[in-house]
Every structure is written in C-alpha cells, then in structure tokens.
C-alpha cells in the first residue's frame, strides 16, 4: 500500500483545463479550503473565471508549466486531451493525478480498445485502422458499425455510421486518414455509466450506477440509480474498479457501458469527472469533484452514498436560439426555478452555440420515477423538443 503525505489547506492546487468540470472542481476545492490555479488558453474559460489565478496559456507552454509547478502542490486535469507530455513534465516536480500513463490510454481509442482486449474486459467487436490497408478484408459481421477518430472525438464529433466497407473507406478518407477505430454497432437495451474515485493506496469508492440517454451523440438525460438489475449494476461497478486498478489510476474516473441483449460492454473511459456524475453534487454525501480533490491531495475518500434519487438534464446552447432568430436570447429560467426539487447549474460560458453544454439541472426525489417525471416535464417546459 502506497502512503503519501496529505496536502492540506490552504495549499494551491493546479487544474489543467478550464471547462465546466474544472469549474466544479474549483468550487469544491474552495469549499474545502484550497486555492486553485487554472491553466487554459481561453480567456473566458468557466473555471478560469472562478479560480484564484488563471494562466492563459497553451498546455505545452513550458513557462506557464514551470510557474504552475513552482506554485502548486499537485495538479490534475478536467479533460482527457491534455497532452501526455505535459503531464509527464509536471510530474517531474509535483504530484500529477491521474498520471500520464493512465490518461494516455483513455485519450486514444485504439489504446483504449487494446487495453480492454488485453485485460479481458467486456467490449464489442472492433478493428483498429491506421491506414487504408487496414480496411481490406473487413468481416461483414462487423457492420453496421461506427467509425471513430482515435483522438479528440467527443459528444458525437469525429464519428460516422457506416454500413459496409465502401462507406467505411469513404468516411475514413473524410476524416483525413486519421487513425480510427471501427466498432460494431450493437443493438442497445440502454447505456449506463459508473463514476468512481481511487486513492493512491488503492482504496476505491464507487457512486451509484447511472442510466444515460443521448441525443445527437450528446448526453441528454442521466437517471440515478440506473433502472437495471442489481446483478448488472454490480457487474458494472466491478468492471470499473478493475479498470481503475489495472490503470494504476488515482483520481475520479468514469466508465461508460453499453447494455446489449442483457450483456455489458465497455464503451469508453474518461479520466476525469463525468457529465453523468453531475447529479452527485445534489444527491450524494460526497460529490465526484470533492472526491477528485481528496484523491489529488492524498486525503481519505468521502462517502459516495446517494441520499436521493436524481435525474440530470443537460442544457445545450440550442436553447438560446429561437426558431428563425440568429441572435441568442436567455431562456426563461423562472420555469425551472418554479420547481421546488430542481437545482439549476449554469456554467458561465461566454457565448452559446448549438450543441455546446451551457448548464444542467438536477431533480431530486425519494423515488427515481417521480424524479424522472418532474425532470422530463421541466425539460419540455424550458423548450427542449425531441426530434
């Protein structure tokens, strides 16, 4: 068991990335008595706007990294696409959790799928595509499939549904010959996710399994606890814990799963807090961001137990644009604030655009079906229309 000296307030912590996940980390760290520096190139980054200091620089700006290494007691990240070299460089001077080796697996889909296969973890059929030669002799049973770029794809970006090898080649060329993964499209019963936190000594705390609904490739609604069998939920937790152990992971980790034909398949891993874990802010004893702070600082993890069922609904930038109007308009938040058991969280982003995550709301209740009913009614009332 690894023993590390705890980092205590009022120490300064470093965050690589300035999005909403980083913003929630800053809030959690501040509540726990820490200061936070955020490194992000965006002058209007949501996390940078609430941090004690915002270093507006690129992730490979070594002058900024040296400044962070000199002033921060430890560093973490809020998104998986921070260059692994940046994490390796900072780790020469201060603790970096999670480490570059774990993050590099999660940030590259070929590495991720290979990791799953090598460790005997449940996954769907796939083929790694490094060049056009890898598209030769693709088995017919692999189709229909989804072609995904190996790097920088998220929220449905960098993906294409293909029905045969010809379509796969066309899509591969459309992605500019980027390395890709071709994944068999599975018939879905539902999608679930597990968020956990792991200490450097190997201790793990797991949040309740969430059930997720997507719209246009972006998470729309997350229901906790997931309405799946106890056996399936237990298997999901077990697989997620095994992944964290095999990665030597320290921090908050999310694992997304497909459920197909009653069986569980790992879809993706996220080396950070997760959108489906937002509900822990309002429904759990300790939320995923507090766990991230605790794991980073070598503190014992908190109790992840939920005190309420919860349903989280994402609010995308589309809401700011009325039909036929090119100018953005603030939605009528009074519609949501009128719901007694609903909490609205807006991320403070500088401008809205279609598909951009601008905020979310969470409805809590003793009963998950009651929470879902209220959340879906509020979702419709604020103007989210299914299509």
Query: By the 8 A CB rule, do 187 and 145 touch?
Result: no
- Residue 213 marked as a ligand binder: no
Find out whether 78 is annotated in a ligand binding site.
Answer: no
Structure tokens at 233: 């939920």
Query: Residue 181: beta bridge partners?
Result: 128, 148
State the SS3 of 148-186: EECCCCCCCCCEEEECCHHHHHHHHHHCCCCCEEEEECC
- Is 157 assigned to a binding site? yes
Would you say 183 is a known binding-site residue?
yes
154 is an annotated ligand-binding site residue: yes
148 annotated to a ligand binding site: yes
Residue closest to 209 by CA, chosen among 226, 222, 223 = 226
Beta carbons of 283 and 364 less than 8 angstroms apart: yes
Tokens of 64: 């900024």
DSSP per-residue codes, 307-321: SSEEEEEEEEGGGGS
* Residue 88 CB-density burial (10 A; 0-12 exposed, 13-18 middle, 19+ buried): middle
Give burial (CB, 10 Å; 0-12/13-18/19+) of 15: buried
**Distance, CA of 77 to CA of 117 (rounded, Å):** 26
Q: Say whether 156 counts as a known binding-site residue.
A: yes
Cβ atoms of 297 and 74 closer than 8 Å: yes
> Binding site membership: which residues?
109, 148, 153-159, 183-186, 191, 214, 267-268
| Feature table: binding site for ATP | 109, 148, 153-159, 183-186, 191, 214, 267-268
């Amino acid at each position: 068991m690894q023993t590390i000296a705890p980092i205590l307030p009022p120490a300064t912590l470093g965050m690589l990335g300035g999005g909403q996940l980083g913003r929630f980390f800053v809030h959690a760290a501040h509540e726990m008595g820490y200061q936070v520096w955020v490194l992000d190139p965006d002058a209007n980054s949501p996390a940078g706007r609430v941090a004690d200091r915002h270093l507006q620089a690129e992730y490979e700006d070594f002058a900024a990294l040296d400044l962070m290494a000199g002033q921060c007691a430890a560093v973490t990240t809020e998104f998986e696409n921070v260059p692994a070299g940046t994490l390796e460089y900072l780790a020469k001077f201060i603790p970096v959790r999670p480490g570059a080796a774990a993050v590099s697996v999660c940030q590259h889909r070929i590495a991720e799928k290979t990791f799953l296969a090598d460790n005997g973890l449940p996954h769907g059929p796939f083929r790694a595509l490094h060049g056009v030669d890898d598209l030769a002799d693709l088995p017919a049973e692999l189709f229909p499939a989804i072609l995904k770029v190996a790097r920088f794809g998220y929220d449905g970006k960098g993906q294409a549904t293909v029905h045969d090898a010809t379509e796969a080649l066309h899509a591969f060329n459309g992605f500019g010959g980027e390395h890709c993964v071709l994944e068999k499209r599975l018939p879905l019963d539902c999608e679930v996710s597990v968020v956990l936190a792991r200490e450097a000594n190997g201790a793990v705390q797991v949040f309740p399994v969430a059930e997720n609904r997507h719209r246009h490739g972006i998470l729309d609604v997350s229901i906790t606890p997931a309405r799946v069998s106890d056996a399936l939920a237990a298997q999901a937790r077990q697989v997620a814990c095994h992944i964290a152990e095999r990665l030597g992971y320290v921090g908050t980790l999310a694992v997304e799963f497909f459920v197909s034909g009653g069986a569980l398949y790992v879809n993706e891993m996220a080396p950070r807090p997760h959108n489906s874990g937002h509900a822990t802010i309002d429904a759990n004893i300790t939320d995923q961001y507090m766990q991230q702070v605790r794991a980073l600082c070598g503190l014992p993890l908190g109790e992840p137990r939920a005190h309420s069922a919860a349903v989280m609904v994402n609010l995308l930038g589309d809401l700011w644009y009325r039909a036929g109007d090119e100018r953005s308009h603030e939605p009528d938040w009074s519609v949501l604030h009128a719901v007694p058991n609903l909490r609205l969280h807006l991320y403070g982003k500088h401008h809205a655009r279609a598909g951009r995550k601008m905020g979310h709301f969470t409805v809590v209740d003793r009963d998950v079906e009651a929470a879902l009913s209220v959340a879906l009614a509020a979702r419709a009332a604020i103007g989210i229309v299914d299509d």
